[in-house]
Amino acid sequence: MTRDWESTFSNWTGRASDTEQDRYEWTRNAIKEALSESPDLRPYSFEIYAKGSYPNFTNVVRDSDVDVAAELTELYKTDFYGDAKGLDLAAVGGIPYSGTYDLPEFKDDVERALRDKFGEGPVDRGKKAIHIRESRQGLAADVVPCVTHKAFYSQHGSHQGIQLRNDAKPYAAIVNYPKQHLERGTEKNDRTQRRYKRVVRILKRLENEMVEKGVIAEVPSFLIESAVYNVPDPLFNVSTWRGRVQNALGHIYEGTETNDCVGSDSWLEANGIKYLFHATQTWTHQQASEFALKAWRYADLGE
């Protein structure tokens, strides 16, 4: 019997269950309590917030850990690009940091606070994040110690994000934009009558099923979400979920089949700032293209 893909896709549009949402909120709040109550961190200004698929409501069951940023806000790092190259902090109205507390010390203090809260056993220090294992009450989580980062592209223009540290490569800056990810995703979802995030959840669940059945290797969740973010808004404006999935996969396949998408403004991460495909990414445009083609065939979306 032929599978009813319209019904399947419709069922896959839903958000996580109330139980999983409760466990997510417990995990997020427990991490906030751990850091807020730490005597080592009390002298410093920092912000704690969830990032990634859970606050963006693009998570599907068991698909990703809870990501929490612990952002040291009293210190910020800077980079200068484009028209801002050659400028210094004074030229853009910045104030030099006069303290001595920096990201390595902050990461050590965050780790100590989490071990005090959750115990030694459930907490592992990774190169970029501090991992908390899943428990009966909470979900697995990655806590990312970071500092505020400002990327200046002109004297009066900048993007503010976060900079984190890889313990194995301490001098290689990693910059992300989690708040823009949330803002841009909400804006696109509103423009597409709430269809954007539903299509993301459909494709993540489709990918999970294909991986489980050995059809494809695992595809990064953020790559899928970002690829759908680049699908033009009008392509969501059709009457069926099958049609919306067809349009999304068709656009992703055609747009990522060649190297033209690398370093292209037409293919950005879901934050709308960073290139989705470039030399330092952990994924490639070939992965996106292959996923789109195999998903199209697996879901029997036509010739």
Element (H, E) at 71: strand 66-80
Dihedral sign, Cα of residue 181, residue 183, residue 188, residue 193: positive
Element (H, E) at 289: helix 285-298
| C-alpha–C-alpha distance, residues 297 and 24, integer Å | 34
Helix (H/G/I), strand (E/B), else coil: 189: helix
* Closest C-alpha among 250, 249, 281 to residue 264: 281
Structure confidence at residue 63 (pLDDT): 66
For residue range 173-232, what is the model confidence (pLDDT) as tens digits?
Answer: 899 999 999 999 999 999 999 999 999 999 999 999 999 999 999 999 999 999 999 999
End-to-end CA distance of the chain: 20
pLDDT per residue as tens, the chain (303 positions):
689 999 999 999 998 787 888 999 999 999 999 999 999 999 999 999 999 998 998 988 766 789 999 999 998 898 898 888 888 888 888 888 888 999 999 999 999 999 999 999 999 999 999 999 999 999 999 999 999 999 998 888 889 999 999 999 888 889 999 999 999 999 999 999 999 999 999 999 999 999 999 999 999 999 999 999 999 999 999 999 999 999 999 999 999 999 999 999 999 999 999 999 999 899 999 999 999 999 999 998 876
**Closest of 157, 289, 141, 130 to residue 223, by C-alpha:** 289
Residues 103, 250: Cα–Cα separation, whole Å: 43
Can you list the positions of beta strands (E) in 133-213? 141-152, 158-166, 169-176
CB 140 within 8 A of CB 132: yes
Residue 3: partners with Cβ closer than 8 Å, 6 or more residues away: 300
Q: What is the pTM for the complete model shown?
A: 0.92
What pLDDT score does 192 carry?
98
pLDDT digits 0-9 by tens, 129-140: 999 999 999 999
Long-range contacts of 5-8 (CB under 8 A, 24+ apart): 5/242, 5/299, 5/300, 5/301, 6/240, 6/241, 6/242
